[in-house]
Amino acid sequence: MEINLDNIALYKSVICMILGDKKSEIIEFIIDNLDDDKRFKYTIKELCATLNISKPTAIDTINLLTQKRVIKKIKNGLYQLSI
pTM comes to 0.85
Strands 78-81 and 39-40: antiparallel
**Range(s) of the domain holding residue 31:** 5-81
Bridge partners (DSSP) of residue 79 are 40, 73
Number of separate domains in the chain: 1
Task: Tell me how crowded residue 71 is: count the other CB atoms within 10 A of its CB.
Answer: 22
So what's the pLDDT on residue 1? 58
So what's the pLDDT on residue 65? 96
Residues of the chain above pLDDT 70, percent: 96
Q: What is the CATH number of the domain that holds 47?
A: 1.10.10.10
Show the low-confidence residues of the chain (pLDDT under 50): none
